[in-house]
Amino acid sequence: MSDFGQDTIGGQGSGSTLIEEQVQNIEPGDHERNAHYVRKEKIVESAVLGIPVIALCGKTWVPGRDPQKFPVCPICKEIYDGLRPEDPKSANPDK
C-alpha cells in the first residue's frame, strides 16, 4: 500500500472507502471477525472448563477459532497499547 489515503480496501477510488471500512469494522457484530486480547490464564481456564472469557473491548465469548486467522480487534489493540508502559528509550532519546 502506498501513502495513507491513496489506496482503498478495494484498490480503487479515494481514501474515503478505507475510512468507511474502518468505521464499519467496529460496528456491533463485527467482533466475530477479529482476534481479541484476553488474559492468558483466562484462555486456559476457558479451554479446560468451557467458560466464556471477556476481551479488553468487552466482548464475551467461548474461544474456539484460531486467532491467527483474524485481524486484531482495533478496540482491544488501542486499550492494550494504552496499558503498556512507555519504552524508556523513546521517552529519553539522549540516553
* 75 occurs within a structural domain: yes
Q: Which pLDDT tens digit goes with each residue over 32-62? A: 689 999 999 999 999 999 999 999 999 999 9
- Residue 14 maps to a domain: no
Domain boundaries, position 64: 34-84
| Residue 95 belongs to a domain | no
Total of domains in the chain: 1
Q: Please say whether the beta carbons of 79 and 55 come within 8 A.
A: no
Dist CA 43 CA 20 (whole Å): 32
In a domain, 25, yes or no: no
Cα–Cα distance, 90 to 41 (Å, whole number): 31
Asked if the structure places residue 58 within a domain, the reply is yes
**pTM, two decimal places:** 0.55
Q: How far apart are CA 57 and CA 25, in angstroms?
A: 13
pLDDT above 70: residue 28 = no
Q: Residue 20 falls within a domain, yes or no?
A: no
